[in-house]
Amino acid sequence: MSTIFRKQSEKGFRNLFFFLTLLPGFFLAGILIMLILRSMPILEVYSIRELFLGVDWKPLQGKFGYLPFIVGTFWVTFLGLGLAVPPSLLTAIYLAEYAGSRVRIIFKPVLDILAAIPSVVYGVWGILVIVPVVEKWIAPFAVKYLGVTTQNPTGYGILSGSMVVAVMIIPFLIAVLWEIIETIPRGLREASLSLGTTQWEMIHTVIFPLIFPGIIAAITLGASRAFGETMAVLMVVGNVPQIPSSIFDAAYPLPALIANNYGEMMSIPLYDAALMGAALILLVIVLFFNIIAALVLSRYKKNRNRQ
15-25 residue pLDDT tens: 888 888 888 88
Asked whether residue 19 is domain-assigned, the answer is no
Asked whether residue 231 is domain-assigned, the answer is yes
CA–CA gap between residue 233 and residue 167 (Å, rounded): 11
Element (H, E) at 258: helix 254-261
Provide the strand spans (E) within 65-209.
none
Highest mean pLDDT among 86-95, 149-158, 287-296: 86-95
Predicted model pTM: 0.87
CA distances from 100 to 97, 158, 263 (A): 9, 38, 52
Asked whether residue 275 is domain-assigned, the answer is yes
Q: Residue 204's pLDDT is what? A: 86
Mind listing the pLDDT tens digit for each residue in 231-275? Answer: 889 899 989 898 988 899 999 999 999 888 876 666 777 888 999
- Extract long-range pairs of 38-44: CB within 8 Å, 24+ residues apart: 38/272, 38/273, 38/276, 39/273, 39/276, 39/277, 39/280, 40/273, 41/270, 41/273, 42/270, 42/273, 42/274, 42/277, 43/273, 43/277
What residue type is 267 in one-letter code?
A: S
Mind listing the pLDDT tens digit for each residue in 43-73? Answer: 899 998 999 999 999 888 888 999 999 999 9
CATH number at residue 247: 1.10.3720.10
pLDDT band at 101 (very low <50, low <70, confident <90, very high): confident
Read off the pLDDT of each residue in 27-43 and give the average, rounded to a whole number: 92
Map residue 63 onto helix, strand or coil: strand
CA–CA gap between residue 97 and residue 192 (Å, rounded): 14
Asked whether residue 98 is domain-assigned, the answer is yes
- C-alpha torsion sign, points 131, 133, 137, 142: negative
CA–CA gap between residue 259 and residue 253 (Å, rounded): 10
CA–CA gap between residue 228 and residue 278 (Å, rounded): 12
Average pLDDT score over the chain: 87
Question: Rounded to 5 degrees, what angle do the CA atoms 214, 186, 101 make?
Answer: 90
Asked whether residue 8 is domain-assigned, the answer is no
Q: Residue 265's pLDDT is what? A: 62
CA distances from 4 to 8, 14, 18, 99, 162 (A): 6, 15, 21, 55, 61
Q: Residue 36's pLDDT is what? A: 93
**Is it the case that residue 152 has pLDDT exceeding 90?**
no
Asked whether residue 15 is domain-assigned, the answer is no
Q: Find the domain containing 81 and state its range.
A: 50-306
Asked whether residue 58 is domain-assigned, the answer is yes
Asked whether residue 274 is domain-assigned, the answer is yes
How many structural domains are present in the chain?
1
CA–CA gap between residue 170 and residue 180 (Å, rounded): 15
